[in-house]
Amino acid sequence: MTRTERTGAVDALRSVRHEPGAPRLVALRVASQFGDGMFQAALGGAILFDPQRGGDPAAIAAGFAVLLLPYSLIGPFAARILDRVDRATVLARAGIVKSLLILCATGQLVAGASTTAVLITALAVVGVSRFVLAGLSASLPHVVPVRSLVATNAALVTVGAVVSAVGASVAVLVLGLVGPSDRATALATAVSAVGAVAATLLARGFASGRLGPGAASVSAPTRRVLADWVSGFVAVRRTPSVAAALVGVGAHRVAFGIDTLVMVLVLREGARSSVLPGGVAGFGLTVGAAAAGMFLAALGTPVLLPRLGRTRTVVGALVLATLTQATLVVALVPDLLILAAFLLGFAGQTVKLTADAAMQTDIDDDTRGRVFGVQDTVFNVAFVGAVAGAALVIGTGSIAVDTSAAIVCVVAGVVAYAAAAAIALRIGVRTSRPTTPGAPSPHPHD
Protein backbone atom coordinates (compact mmCIF):
# COMPACT_ATOMS: atom_id res chain seq x y z
CA MET A 1 0.00 0.00 0.00
CA THR A 2 1.40 3.40 -0.96
CA ARG A 3 1.76 6.36 1.35
CA THR A 4 -1.21 8.05 -0.34
CA GLU A 5 -3.38 4.99 0.19
CA ARG A 6 -2.34 4.71 3.84
CA THR A 7 -3.18 8.39 4.30
CA GLY A 8 -6.62 7.81 2.76
CA ALA A 9 -7.32 4.94 5.14
CA VAL A 10 -6.17 6.98 8.14
CA ASP A 11 -8.35 9.90 7.03
CA ALA A 12 -11.32 7.56 6.77
CA LEU A 13 -10.79 6.28 10.32
CA ARG A 14 -10.34 9.79 11.65
CA SER A 15 -13.52 10.94 9.94
CA VAL A 16 -15.50 8.21 11.66
CA ARG A 17 -13.95 8.97 15.04
CA HIS A 18 -13.87 12.76 15.03
CA GLU A 19 -16.40 14.07 12.50
CA PRO A 20 -19.62 15.13 14.27
CA GLY A 21 -22.37 12.63 13.63
CA ALA A 22 -20.23 9.99 11.92
CA PRO A 23 -19.97 7.54 14.87
CA ARG A 24 -23.73 7.75 15.41
CA LEU A 25 -24.41 7.08 11.72
CA VAL A 26 -22.09 4.05 11.86
CA ALA A 27 -23.88 2.70 14.93
CA LEU A 28 -27.25 3.30 13.28
CA ARG A 29 -26.22 1.28 10.23
CA VAL A 30 -24.81 -1.57 12.32
CA ALA A 31 -27.92 -1.84 14.48
CA SER A 32 -30.29 -1.68 11.54
CA GLN A 33 -28.48 -4.22 9.38
CA PHE A 34 -27.91 -6.72 12.18
CA GLY A 35 -31.66 -6.83 12.70
CA ASP A 36 -32.27 -7.02 8.94
CA GLY A 37 -29.94 -10.00 8.65
CA MET A 38 -31.68 -11.88 11.43
CA PHE A 39 -35.17 -11.14 10.15
CA GLN A 40 -34.53 -12.02 6.50
CA ALA A 41 -32.50 -15.16 7.24
CA ALA A 42 -35.08 -16.44 9.72
CA LEU A 43 -37.92 -16.04 7.26
CA GLY A 44 -35.83 -17.29 4.35
CA GLY A 45 -34.69 -20.38 6.23
CA ALA A 46 -38.19 -21.26 7.33
CA ILE A 47 -39.90 -20.60 4.02
CA LEU A 48 -37.22 -22.11 1.77
CA PHE A 49 -36.24 -25.16 3.86
CA ASP A 50 -39.21 -25.89 6.13
CA PRO A 51 -40.97 -28.94 4.60
CA GLN A 52 -44.31 -27.47 5.68
CA ARG A 53 -43.72 -24.17 3.88
CA GLY A 54 -41.00 -24.82 1.29
CA GLY A 55 -42.20 -24.73 -2.30
CA ASP A 56 -41.14 -25.35 -5.86
CA PRO A 57 -39.13 -22.80 -7.91
CA ALA A 58 -42.31 -20.94 -8.86
CA ALA A 59 -43.25 -20.53 -5.20
CA ILE A 60 -39.74 -19.35 -4.34
CA ALA A 61 -39.82 -16.82 -7.18
CA ALA A 62 -43.25 -15.61 -6.08
CA GLY A 63 -41.97 -15.19 -2.53
CA PHE A 64 -39.04 -13.05 -3.65
CA ALA A 65 -41.35 -11.01 -5.89
CA VAL A 66 -43.69 -10.32 -2.99
CA LEU A 67 -40.75 -9.32 -0.78
CA LEU A 68 -38.86 -7.10 -3.21
CA LEU A 69 -40.95 -5.74 -6.07
CA PRO A 70 -43.49 -3.65 -4.12
CA TYR A 71 -40.67 -1.44 -2.83
CA SER A 72 -39.66 -0.78 -6.42
CA LEU A 73 -43.15 0.67 -6.94
CA ILE A 74 -42.96 2.97 -3.94
CA GLY A 75 -39.28 3.74 -4.53
CA PRO A 76 -40.06 7.00 -6.38
CA PHE A 77 -42.04 8.25 -3.37
CA ALA A 78 -39.28 7.17 -0.99
CA ALA A 79 -36.62 8.87 -3.12
CA ARG A 80 -38.59 12.12 -3.13
CA ILE A 81 -38.96 11.98 0.65
CA LEU A 82 -35.19 11.59 1.07
CA ASP A 83 -34.62 14.65 -1.13
CA ARG A 84 -37.38 16.80 0.41
CA VAL A 85 -37.78 15.92 4.10
CA ASP A 86 -35.27 16.04 6.96
CA ARG A 87 -33.51 12.68 6.71
CA ALA A 88 -32.89 12.31 10.44
CA THR A 89 -36.63 12.56 11.10
CA VAL A 90 -37.38 10.14 8.27
CA LEU A 91 -34.90 7.56 9.59
CA ALA A 92 -36.32 7.76 13.11
CA ARG A 93 -39.90 7.31 11.98
CA ALA A 94 -38.95 4.51 9.60
CA GLY A 95 -37.33 2.69 12.53
CA ILE A 96 -40.55 2.89 14.53
CA VAL A 97 -42.59 1.55 11.62
CA LYS A 98 -40.13 -1.30 11.05
CA SER A 99 -40.18 -2.30 14.72
CA LEU A 100 -43.97 -2.55 14.71
CA LEU A 101 -43.99 -4.54 11.47
CA ILE A 102 -41.43 -7.02 12.80
CA LEU A 103 -43.53 -7.59 15.91
CA CYS A 104 -46.56 -8.07 13.68
CA ALA A 105 -44.73 -10.72 11.64
CA THR A 106 -43.66 -12.43 14.86
CA GLY A 107 -47.27 -12.55 16.03
CA GLN A 108 -48.34 -14.05 12.72
CA LEU A 109 -45.75 -16.81 13.01
CA VAL A 110 -46.78 -17.64 16.57
CA ALA A 111 -50.41 -17.80 15.44
CA GLY A 112 -49.50 -20.11 12.54
CA ALA A 113 -50.60 -17.67 9.83
CA SER A 114 -50.32 -18.66 6.18
CA THR A 115 -47.12 -18.12 4.22
CA THR A 116 -48.89 -15.49 2.10
CA ALA A 117 -49.88 -13.45 5.15
CA VAL A 118 -46.37 -13.62 6.60
CA LEU A 119 -44.81 -12.61 3.28
CA ILE A 120 -47.11 -9.60 2.95
CA THR A 121 -45.91 -8.30 6.31
CA ALA A 122 -42.32 -9.23 5.50
CA LEU A 123 -42.42 -7.28 2.24
CA ALA A 124 -43.26 -4.15 4.23
CA VAL A 125 -40.34 -4.80 6.59
CA VAL A 126 -37.92 -5.30 3.70
CA GLY A 127 -39.23 -2.19 1.95
CA VAL A 128 -38.65 -0.04 5.02
CA SER A 129 -35.18 -1.57 5.44
CA ARG A 130 -34.21 -0.70 1.85
CA PHE A 131 -35.55 2.82 2.41
CA VAL A 132 -33.42 3.20 5.54
CA LEU A 133 -30.28 2.02 3.72
CA ALA A 134 -30.91 4.47 0.88
CA GLY A 135 -31.30 7.24 3.45
CA LEU A 136 -28.07 6.28 5.20
CA SER A 137 -26.13 6.29 1.92
CA ALA A 138 -27.58 9.65 0.89
CA SER A 139 -26.75 11.10 4.34
CA LEU A 140 -23.11 9.98 4.49
CA PRO A 141 -21.63 12.99 2.63
CA HIS A 142 -23.04 15.23 5.40
CA VAL A 143 -20.90 13.61 8.12
CA VAL A 144 -17.77 12.54 6.21
CA PRO A 145 -15.31 14.78 4.28
CA VAL A 146 -15.24 14.32 0.51
CA ARG A 147 -11.57 13.28 0.58
CA SER A 148 -12.44 10.30 2.81
CA LEU A 149 -15.80 9.44 1.29
CA VAL A 150 -14.76 6.47 -0.88
CA ALA A 151 -12.78 4.69 1.84
CA THR A 152 -15.38 5.43 4.53
CA ASN A 153 -18.30 4.35 2.36
CA ALA A 154 -16.49 1.13 1.45
CA ALA A 155 -15.90 0.40 5.11
CA LEU A 156 -19.44 1.26 6.25
CA VAL A 157 -21.33 -0.50 3.45
CA THR A 158 -19.30 -3.66 3.90
CA VAL A 159 -19.32 -3.57 7.70
CA GLY A 160 -23.08 -3.33 7.37
CA ALA A 161 -23.14 -6.33 5.04
CA VAL A 162 -20.90 -8.33 7.39
CA VAL A 163 -23.01 -7.40 10.40
CA SER A 164 -26.09 -8.44 8.42
CA ALA A 165 -24.40 -11.77 7.74
CA VAL A 166 -23.65 -12.14 11.45
CA GLY A 167 -27.31 -11.53 12.21
CA ALA A 168 -28.23 -14.08 9.55
CA SER A 169 -25.82 -16.57 11.12
CA VAL A 170 -27.50 -16.12 14.50
CA ALA A 171 -30.87 -16.79 12.90
CA VAL A 172 -29.50 -19.84 11.05
CA LEU A 173 -28.05 -21.13 14.33
CA VAL A 174 -31.45 -20.86 15.98
CA LEU A 175 -33.11 -22.64 13.07
CA GLY A 176 -30.37 -25.29 13.03
CA LEU A 177 -30.77 -26.03 16.73
CA VAL A 178 -34.56 -25.93 16.88
CA GLY A 179 -35.27 -26.85 13.26
CA PRO A 180 -36.96 -24.70 10.60
CA SER A 181 -40.33 -24.06 12.17
CA ASP A 182 -42.71 -21.22 12.94
CA ARG A 183 -41.70 -21.22 16.60
CA ALA A 184 -37.96 -20.93 15.86
CA THR A 185 -38.60 -18.28 13.20
CA ALA A 186 -40.77 -16.27 15.56
CA LEU A 187 -38.02 -16.31 18.20
CA ALA A 188 -35.43 -15.06 15.70
CA THR A 189 -37.67 -12.34 14.26
CA ALA A 190 -38.60 -11.11 17.75
CA VAL A 191 -34.93 -10.67 18.66
CA SER A 192 -34.28 -8.90 15.34
CA ALA A 193 -36.64 -6.10 16.42
CA VAL A 194 -33.94 -4.98 18.89
CA GLY A 195 -31.88 -3.72 15.96
CA ALA A 196 -34.75 -1.61 14.63
CA VAL A 197 -35.43 -0.11 18.08
CA ALA A 198 -31.75 0.75 18.57
CA ALA A 199 -31.60 2.36 15.12
CA THR A 200 -34.64 4.47 15.96
CA LEU A 201 -33.08 5.79 19.16
CA LEU A 202 -29.82 6.59 17.35
CA ALA A 203 -31.63 8.45 14.55
CA ARG A 204 -33.47 10.59 17.10
CA GLY A 205 -30.09 11.83 18.34
CA PHE A 206 -29.36 13.77 15.13
CA ALA A 207 -30.18 17.46 15.07
CA SER A 208 -32.69 18.63 12.49
CA GLY A 209 -31.03 19.13 9.13
CA ARG A 210 -27.80 17.39 10.14
CA LEU A 211 -28.18 14.66 7.51
CA GLY A 212 -29.62 16.86 4.77
CA PRO A 213 -31.08 17.42 2.29
CA GLY A 214 -29.84 20.92 1.64
CA ALA A 215 -33.29 22.43 1.32
CA ALA A 216 -35.75 20.21 3.17
CA SER A 217 -39.43 21.00 2.81
CA VAL A 218 -42.16 18.88 4.36
CA SER A 219 -44.77 20.76 2.33
CA ALA A 220 -43.31 19.94 -1.09
CA PRO A 221 -46.02 18.75 -3.52
CA THR A 222 -46.07 15.07 -4.43
CA ARG A 223 -47.71 15.35 -7.86
CA ARG A 224 -44.28 15.42 -9.50
CA VAL A 225 -43.19 12.10 -7.99
CA LEU A 226 -43.07 10.31 -11.34
CA ALA A 227 -41.17 13.19 -12.92
CA ASP A 228 -38.67 13.10 -10.06
CA TRP A 229 -38.23 9.34 -10.49
CA VAL A 230 -37.57 9.82 -14.19
CA SER A 231 -35.12 12.59 -13.34
CA GLY A 232 -33.17 10.04 -11.29
CA PHE A 233 -32.75 7.86 -14.39
CA VAL A 234 -31.80 10.95 -16.41
CA ALA A 235 -29.15 11.84 -13.83
CA VAL A 236 -27.75 8.31 -14.11
CA ARG A 237 -27.68 8.48 -17.92
CA ARG A 238 -25.91 11.84 -17.87
CA THR A 239 -23.27 10.64 -15.39
CA PRO A 240 -21.17 7.96 -17.14
CA SER A 241 -19.35 6.88 -13.98
CA VAL A 242 -22.69 6.09 -12.32
CA ALA A 243 -24.21 4.50 -15.44
CA ALA A 244 -21.28 2.13 -15.94
CA ALA A 245 -21.32 1.03 -12.30
CA LEU A 246 -25.11 0.50 -12.24
CA VAL A 247 -24.89 -1.69 -15.33
CA GLY A 248 -22.51 -3.86 -13.31
CA VAL A 249 -24.81 -3.82 -10.29
CA GLY A 250 -27.72 -4.95 -12.45
CA ALA A 251 -25.73 -7.78 -14.01
CA HIS A 252 -24.56 -8.99 -10.61
CA ARG A 253 -28.11 -9.04 -9.29
CA VAL A 254 -29.25 -11.05 -12.32
CA ALA A 255 -26.56 -13.68 -11.78
CA PHE A 256 -27.10 -13.59 -8.01
CA GLY A 257 -30.82 -14.25 -8.47
CA ILE A 258 -30.12 -17.22 -10.71
CA ASP A 259 -27.48 -18.59 -8.35
CA THR A 260 -29.73 -18.19 -5.31
CA LEU A 261 -32.49 -20.32 -6.79
CA VAL A 262 -30.06 -22.97 -8.06
CA MET A 263 -28.24 -23.03 -4.72
CA VAL A 264 -31.44 -23.56 -2.73
CA LEU A 265 -32.44 -26.47 -4.95
CA VAL A 266 -28.95 -28.03 -4.79
CA LEU A 267 -28.71 -27.68 -1.01
CA ARG A 268 -32.12 -29.28 -0.56
CA GLU A 269 -30.75 -32.49 -2.02
CA GLY A 270 -27.87 -32.48 0.47
CA ALA A 271 -26.17 -35.61 -0.92
CA ARG A 272 -23.91 -34.09 -3.53
CA SER A 273 -21.16 -33.19 -1.07
CA SER A 274 -19.56 -34.68 2.01
CA VAL A 275 -18.11 -31.32 3.09
CA LEU A 276 -20.80 -28.68 2.76
CA PRO A 277 -23.92 -29.66 4.70
CA GLY A 278 -27.27 -29.42 3.03
CA GLY A 279 -30.36 -27.52 4.03
CA VAL A 280 -30.36 -24.36 6.08
CA ALA A 281 -26.88 -25.06 7.52
CA GLY A 282 -25.32 -25.12 4.05
CA PHE A 283 -27.25 -21.98 3.18
CA GLY A 284 -25.81 -20.26 6.25
CA LEU A 285 -22.24 -21.25 5.36
CA THR A 286 -22.66 -19.93 1.84
CA VAL A 287 -24.02 -16.63 3.14
CA GLY A 288 -21.02 -16.40 5.47
CA ALA A 289 -18.61 -16.98 2.59
CA ALA A 290 -20.27 -14.22 0.58
CA ALA A 291 -19.97 -11.88 3.57
CA ALA A 292 -16.25 -12.66 3.84
CA GLY A 293 -15.85 -11.71 0.19
CA MET A 294 -17.68 -8.45 0.84
CA PHE A 295 -15.35 -7.70 3.74
CA LEU A 296 -12.33 -8.21 1.49
CA ALA A 297 -13.93 -5.86 -1.05
CA ALA A 298 -14.16 -3.19 1.66
CA LEU A 299 -10.42 -3.44 2.17
CA GLY A 300 -9.56 -3.65 -1.51
CA THR A 301 -11.88 -1.14 -3.19
CA PRO A 302 -10.33 2.02 -1.63
CA VAL A 303 -6.95 0.76 -2.86
CA LEU A 304 -8.14 -0.24 -6.33
CA LEU A 305 -10.14 2.90 -7.14
CA PRO A 306 -7.29 5.46 -7.02
CA ARG A 307 -4.93 3.04 -8.75
CA LEU A 308 -7.20 1.67 -11.51
CA GLY A 309 -9.99 4.22 -11.74
CA ARG A 310 -13.69 3.44 -11.59
CA THR A 311 -14.05 1.93 -15.05
CA ARG A 312 -11.17 -0.52 -14.70
CA THR A 313 -12.26 -1.45 -11.19
CA VAL A 314 -15.80 -2.27 -12.33
CA VAL A 315 -14.64 -4.14 -15.43
CA GLY A 316 -12.04 -6.11 -13.47
CA ALA A 317 -14.61 -7.16 -10.87
CA LEU A 318 -17.06 -8.21 -13.59
CA VAL A 319 -14.39 -10.26 -15.38
CA LEU A 320 -13.64 -12.05 -12.10
CA ALA A 321 -17.36 -12.70 -11.63
CA THR A 322 -17.65 -14.01 -15.19
CA LEU A 323 -14.85 -16.51 -14.67
CA THR A 324 -16.24 -17.60 -11.30
CA GLN A 325 -19.71 -18.13 -12.73
CA ALA A 326 -18.32 -20.06 -15.72
CA THR A 327 -16.03 -22.38 -13.74
CA LEU A 328 -17.27 -22.82 -10.17
CA VAL A 329 -21.02 -22.15 -10.18
CA VAL A 330 -21.64 -24.09 -13.38
CA ALA A 331 -20.31 -27.27 -11.71
CA LEU A 332 -23.36 -27.32 -9.38
CA VAL A 333 -21.23 -28.87 -6.64
CA PRO A 334 -22.01 -27.61 -3.12
CA ASP A 335 -18.34 -27.88 -2.14
CA LEU A 336 -17.54 -25.26 -4.79
CA LEU A 337 -20.45 -23.00 -3.87
CA ILE A 338 -18.59 -21.64 -0.83
CA LEU A 339 -15.63 -20.52 -2.95
CA ALA A 340 -17.95 -19.17 -5.63
CA ALA A 341 -19.97 -17.26 -3.02
CA PHE A 342 -16.77 -15.75 -1.63
CA LEU A 343 -15.51 -14.60 -5.05
CA LEU A 344 -18.90 -13.33 -6.22
CA GLY A 345 -19.37 -11.55 -2.90
CA PHE A 346 -16.04 -9.80 -3.45
CA ALA A 347 -16.76 -8.92 -7.08
CA GLY A 348 -20.34 -7.79 -6.51
CA GLN A 349 -19.48 -5.66 -3.49
CA THR A 350 -16.59 -4.04 -5.37
CA VAL A 351 -18.99 -2.98 -8.11
CA LYS A 352 -21.56 -1.81 -5.54
CA LEU A 353 -19.01 0.26 -3.62
CA THR A 354 -17.78 1.83 -6.84
CA ALA A 355 -21.36 2.74 -7.74
CA ASP A 356 -21.91 4.27 -4.30
CA ALA A 357 -18.72 6.30 -4.60
CA ALA A 358 -19.77 7.61 -8.02
CA MET A 359 -23.25 8.55 -6.78
CA GLN A 360 -21.96 10.26 -3.65
CA THR A 361 -19.32 12.34 -5.44
CA ASP A 362 -20.71 12.90 -8.94
CA ILE A 363 -24.41 13.46 -8.14
CA ASP A 364 -25.74 16.66 -6.55
CA ASP A 365 -27.21 16.38 -3.07
CA ASP A 366 -30.67 17.48 -4.20
CA THR A 367 -30.78 14.56 -6.66
CA ARG A 368 -28.78 11.94 -4.78
CA GLY A 369 -31.72 10.36 -2.99
CA ARG A 370 -33.52 9.79 -6.29
CA VAL A 371 -30.44 8.19 -7.83
CA PHE A 372 -30.07 5.84 -4.88
CA GLY A 373 -33.75 5.04 -5.40
CA VAL A 374 -32.92 4.10 -8.99
CA GLN A 375 -30.21 1.78 -7.69
CA ASP A 376 -32.70 0.12 -5.36
CA THR A 377 -35.07 -0.43 -8.29
CA VAL A 378 -32.29 -2.00 -10.35
CA PHE A 379 -31.31 -4.10 -7.32
CA ASN A 380 -34.76 -5.56 -6.82
CA VAL A 381 -36.15 -5.86 -10.34
CA ALA A 382 -33.00 -7.53 -11.72
CA PHE A 383 -32.94 -10.07 -8.88
CA VAL A 384 -36.62 -10.98 -8.98
CA GLY A 385 -36.68 -11.11 -12.78
CA ALA A 386 -33.70 -13.48 -12.76
CA VAL A 387 -35.27 -15.77 -10.14
CA ALA A 388 -38.54 -15.86 -12.08
CA GLY A 389 -36.78 -16.58 -15.37
CA ALA A 390 -34.69 -19.33 -13.81
CA ALA A 391 -37.80 -20.87 -12.26
CA LEU A 392 -39.46 -21.05 -15.68
CA VAL A 393 -36.40 -22.72 -17.22
CA ILE A 394 -35.88 -25.22 -14.39
CA GLY A 395 -39.56 -26.06 -14.16
CA THR A 396 -42.19 -24.52 -11.92
CA GLY A 397 -43.26 -27.86 -10.47
CA SER A 398 -39.80 -29.22 -9.70
CA ILE A 399 -38.61 -29.69 -6.12
CA ALA A 400 -35.14 -31.05 -6.96
CA VAL A 401 -32.71 -29.38 -9.31
CA ASP A 402 -32.75 -30.26 -13.01
CA THR A 403 -29.03 -30.31 -13.84
CA SER A 404 -29.32 -29.45 -17.54
CA ALA A 405 -31.80 -26.64 -16.98
CA ALA A 406 -29.77 -25.27 -14.07
CA ILE A 407 -26.62 -25.16 -16.22
CA VAL A 408 -28.53 -23.19 -18.86
CA CYS A 409 -29.51 -20.66 -16.19
CA VAL A 410 -25.98 -20.39 -14.82
CA VAL A 411 -24.63 -19.80 -18.33
CA ALA A 412 -27.15 -16.97 -18.68
CA GLY A 413 -25.47 -15.45 -15.62
CA VAL A 414 -22.10 -15.76 -17.36
CA VAL A 415 -23.49 -13.88 -20.35
CA ALA A 416 -24.93 -11.16 -18.11
CA TYR A 417 -21.59 -10.57 -16.39
CA ALA A 418 -19.63 -10.58 -19.65
CA ALA A 419 -22.06 -8.21 -21.37
CA ALA A 420 -21.97 -5.80 -18.43
CA ALA A 421 -18.17 -5.79 -18.48
CA ALA A 422 -18.19 -4.95 -22.20
CA ILE A 423 -20.77 -2.17 -21.73
CA ALA A 424 -18.92 -0.65 -18.75
CA LEU A 425 -15.65 -0.74 -20.69
CA ARG A 426 -17.24 0.93 -23.68
CA ILE A 427 -18.75 3.69 -21.53
CA GLY A 428 -15.41 4.25 -19.80
CA VAL A 429 -13.42 4.40 -23.04
CA ARG A 430 -15.89 6.79 -24.65
CA THR A 431 -16.03 9.21 -21.72
CA SER A 432 -12.29 9.16 -20.99
CA ARG A 433 -11.29 9.94 -24.59
CA PRO A 434 -9.88 13.53 -24.81
CA THR A 435 -12.05 15.94 -26.77
CA THR A 436 -8.99 17.46 -28.46
CA PRO A 437 -5.52 16.06 -29.12
CA GLY A 438 -3.41 16.31 -26.00
CA ALA A 439 -6.31 17.47 -23.83
CA PRO A 440 -6.74 15.90 -20.40
CA SER A 441 -9.57 13.49 -19.79
CA PRO A 442 -12.81 15.27 -18.78
CA HIS A 443 -13.51 12.42 -16.34
CA PRO A 444 -10.35 11.87 -14.32
CA HIS A 445 -12.10 9.50 -11.92
CA ASP A 446 -12.96 7.07 -14.73
CA 130 – CA 138 distance, rounded (Å): 12
Angle between helices 22-49 and 149-178 (to 10 degrees): 40
Predicted confidence at residue 128, as pLDDT, reads 86
Predicted confidence at residue 133, as pLDDT, reads 84
Nearest to 350 by CA among 424, 419, 284: 424
Predicted confidence at residue 91, as pLDDT, reads 92
Predicted confidence at residue 329, as pLDDT, reads 94
Predicted confidence at residue 73, as pLDDT, reads 63
The pTM assigned to this predicted structure is: 0.70
Decide if 68 contacts 384 (C-beta within 8 A): yes
The pLDDT averaged over each successive group of 10 residues in the chain (446 residues) is 41 61 88 91 72 66 70 63 83 93 91 79 83 84 77 73 84 74 83 92 90 59 62 83 89 93 79 61 80 85 86 94 95 87 94 86 77 79 89 73 86 96 85 45 44
Predicted confidence at residue 75, as pLDDT, reads 60
CA triplet 360, 361, 363: central angle to 5 degrees? 75
Residue 52 CB: number of other CB atoms within 10 A? Answer: 11
Task: Go through 389-411 and write b for each residue having 16 or more CB atoms within 10 A of its CB, e for each that does not.
Answer: bbbebbebeeeebbeebbeebbe
Decide if 375 contacts 355 (C-beta within 8 A): yes
Preceding omega of 306 cis (within 30 degrees of 0): no
Decide if 56 contacts 396 (C-beta within 8 A): yes
Kindly write down the DSSP assignment for every residue of 161-215, as one continuous string. Answer: HHHHHHHHHHHHHHHHHH-SSHHHHHHHHHHHHHHHHHHHHHHTTSPTTTT--TT
**What count of Cα atoms within 13 Å lies in the side-chain half-sphere of residue 323?**
8
Environment class of residue 299 by beta-carbon count within 10 Å: exposed (0-12), middle (13-18) or buried (19+)? middle
